Chain A
Amino acid sequence: MTEKLKISIKNLNVFYANKQALYDINLNIMEREVTSLIGPSGCGKSTLLKCLNRMNDLIDICSINGQIMIDGTNINDSDQDPVLLRSKVGMVFQKPNPFPKSIYDNVAYGPKLHGIAQSKDELDSIVIKSLSRAGLYEEVKSRLFEPGTGLSGGQQQRLCIARALAVGPEIILMDEPCSALDPIATAKIEELIEELKTKYTIVIVTHSMQQAARVSDRTAYMHMGELVESGFTKNIFSNPQHQKTQDYITGRIG
């Protein structure tokens, strides 16, 4: 596997008002790999994830310092447009959140917004391709124009993944994408992640150790806003360097 650095986080500190949420984070994320962030609740996983597509900008009281380089550019530079960044860095949320529109319009939402498709046909093909890639097309092809909110939870989540794929991102951020799903739907999403990583760089937050072990190449363990250790998933799980990591993965904390 040829390794290429996709995201590089250097000395990142994040504050909510006066309260520090992340302390001096340093982390490298490789292209076309799945990196999972694990750690006890409140340790700052979501916060770190949201820094990567600048969703933190939306929170008034949130301020950050440090560097986040994606493809060699600091995304927090003043000349960087968060709106463009977010079309390059897609996000899937914990709870499926399809828009109250048809399945088709949900997927076409991003392409229309960014003027990606030149014609109706092109838009159609983007929608179909994205739905297929998210493993949903076969299930919904007969009802593309019915509301997306009428799908099952697992289907909704895959719709949200299709929606993110439709804008042609390079990175996909997933914040506990399976926590609202049953085991079968979860297995489907995990399968999907496996497939997607051939094209995309994926960062996933998860509370399930098994899931991290199953889907990710690398794992980063966080604790109380600090990055305790990171490395290949198999190493982290079989041979953790830190006591805290050991405690967490054996279920003693968290």
Chain B
Amino acid sequence: MTTITYLAIFALAVYSFIINKSRAVSLAKFSNLHSQPYYHGIYSAVFMFLPAITLLILWTSIQNILTNLTIKDYFGDINDPGLVKFYINSVIDYSSGVSTRIIEHSGFLPAVERYSSLTYTNSILKIIVAIGLSVTLLRLSMKTVTVEFKAREYVERLFVMLMKLSSIMAIVVTVGIVLSLLFETLRFFSMINIFDFLFGLQWSPQTAIRADQVASSGSFGAIPVFAGTILISLIAMLVAVPIGLYSAIYLSQYAPYKVRTFAKPIIEILAGIPTVVYGFFAVITVAPFFRDLGDKIAPGALSGESAIIAGTVMGIMIIPFITSLTDDAMNAVPSSLKEGSLAMGATVSETTKQVIIPASFHGIVASFLLAFSRAIGETMIVVMAAGFAANLTLNPFESVTTVTVQIVGLLTGDQEFDSAKTLSAFALAFVLFFLTLILNVIALNMVKKYRELYE
């Protein structure tokens, strides 16, 4: 019913656009309009659409609050507010046909009846008012189609407002995410000492399910988890930096134009492969390869979950970031510098080493930092290829765990949302977020600095 109302209002808006535009067109035949007919159409459509939709939405939410209050009375004898809420939801679900479950409570069926009749009359009223408002506004808007009406300016203002709103939304959402993360983290730190978390060497959240162990400190020491993340990310950088750098040098300095235009998009496609695919690649191809290799040297020494496997695959994943960004940075070096060096009798590799790389150094380092922060936050590959055991080690052939793996482990399955164990996931995420934020800020600053150098 409500859907149809929304659709009807939308249809009216379209109708308003068409009719007012055509009215403006016929007006334009006799005189010079201030605004093009298109703007009159848009203006009148928005003029009726926005108020009508706002009314509908407001009405609906107020109605929900009021009806909830009304049927709450039927469960006045219950003290537990959570239970009351559950009953109210059951009433709503039952009335709207979502569920057929009947609650064993004397107030339930009367409440359902009351709710149904309330919503029914309300809906009818709502539809009549909304459509009525639309039609009135439509009629009003027809009067605005005149020679001197500045529809174009109003429409321009409207779009500016829309864009502002979108930017605000983006920022608000980001801030919201950070805040929700922050609150859960603070809740966690109210249970566990922040220093034990940041500097503790022992990570075993599973044991903390039992109440007597929550208090036993040391099981939430995040160091091994972060050490694992760093270890795997460093291995990834070891793989990705040389390959990414060399391929970028080849692409930007040596490759003929045709090769470059062909190869660069392909490398950038690599960046779009879903990471779960890399995970498969790690498990199916890379892990057996390393295991066989390890067996030749020391049988059984290498498990399928070594840091080196996840790290290598993650390295492959971040190669395109380094290649693409470094290539951009090197290409941004003015070609006059390259020519100048070559004209001095330098070879291309000398020119690259002595002129191009120093000139694009900020950009190159920025690409490393961005790739590193990508590696730190990567989840799917490590979930599939790294282990869950939080060993504190620098040995790449041992199994380590990462922050993201732990978060996934802590939050999957049935979890209670106020145990220290679950909340520790938020603390981990928050620290991780903070780390990548710092890396990104540094990287973006470097990019900016080196842009300033050449523009």
Contact = CB atoms under 8 A, between A and B. Distances in A.
A95 B336 contact: yes
B337 interface: yes
Interface stretch (A83-91, A182-190, A214-222): A83-91
Contacts of B341: 99, 109
A99 B342 CA distance: 12
Interface in A91-105: 91, 93, 95, 97-101
B340 A113 contact: no
A55 B345 contact: no
Nearest to B346: A113
A170 to B, nearest CB: 13
Interface stretch (A67-75, A159-167, A191-199, A235-243): A159-167
A93 B344 contact: no
Nearest to B360: A100
A114 interface: yes
A101 B358 contact: yes
Contacts of A55: 339, 342-343
B300 interface: no
B343 A83 contact: no
Interface in B332-359: 334, 336-337, 339-347, 350, 354-355, 358-359
A63 B257 CA distance: 16
Contacts of A100: 337, 355, 358-359, 453
A110 B337 CA distance: 14
B345 A114 contact: yes
A125 B324 CA distance: 43
Contacts of B359: 99-100
Contact of A83 (B336, B339, B340, B347): B347
B256 interface: yes
Contacts of B358: 100-101
A215 to B, nearest CB: 21
The interface centre, meaning the residue of B340, B341, B345, B453 with most chain A CB atoms within 10 A of its CB, is B345
B340 A160 contact: yes
B337 A99 contact: yes
B339 A97 contact: yes
A91 B343 contact: yes
Chain B interface SS verdict (over half): helix
A93 B338 CA distance: 12
B215 to A, nearest CB: 59
- Chain A interface size, as a band, is 20 to 34
B373 to A, nearest CB: 27
A1 interface: no
A86 B343 CA distance: 6
B120 to A, nearest CB: 76
Contacts of B354: 99, 109, 113
Nearest to B348: A58
Contacts of B342: 55, 58, 86
Contacts of A93: 336, 339-340, 343
Given A60-B257, A100-B358, A113-B350, A86 B339 contact: no
A77 B334 CA distance: 31
A53 interface: yes
Nearest to B347: A83
Contact of A86 (B257, B337, B344): B344
Contacts of A95: 336
Contacts of B355: 99-100
B257 A113 contact: no
Nearest to A100: B359
A64 to B, nearest CB: 17
A99 B337 CA distance: 6
B345 A87 contact: yes
B339 A109 contact: no
Contacts of A110: 344-346
Interface in B346-385: 346-347, 350, 354-355, 358-359
B441 to A, nearest CB: 25
B342 to A, nearest CB: 6
B453 A83 contact: no
B339 A84 contact: no
Nearest to B340: A97
Interface string A47-70: 000000101001010000000000
Given A98-B340, A113-B350, A164-B343, 20 more contacts: A53-B343, A55-B342, A58-B339, A60-B257, A83-B345, A83-B346, A83-B347, A87-B345, A90-B344, A97-B334, A97-B337, A99-B355, A100-B337, A100-B355, A100-B358, A110-B346, A113-B344, A163-B340, A163-B344, A164-B344
23 contacts: A55-B343, A58-B342, A60-B257, A83-B347, A85-B345, A86-B342, A87-B345, A91-B343, A93-B336, A97-B334, A97-B337, A97-B340, A99-B337, A99-B340, A99-B341, A99-B359, A100-B355, A109-B346, A110-B344, A113-B344, A113-B345, A113-B350, A160-B340
The 8 A-B pairs with the shortest beta carbon distances in the complex, nearest first, are A87-B345, A86-B345, A91-B343, A97-B336, A97-B340, A110-B344, A100-B359, A83-B345
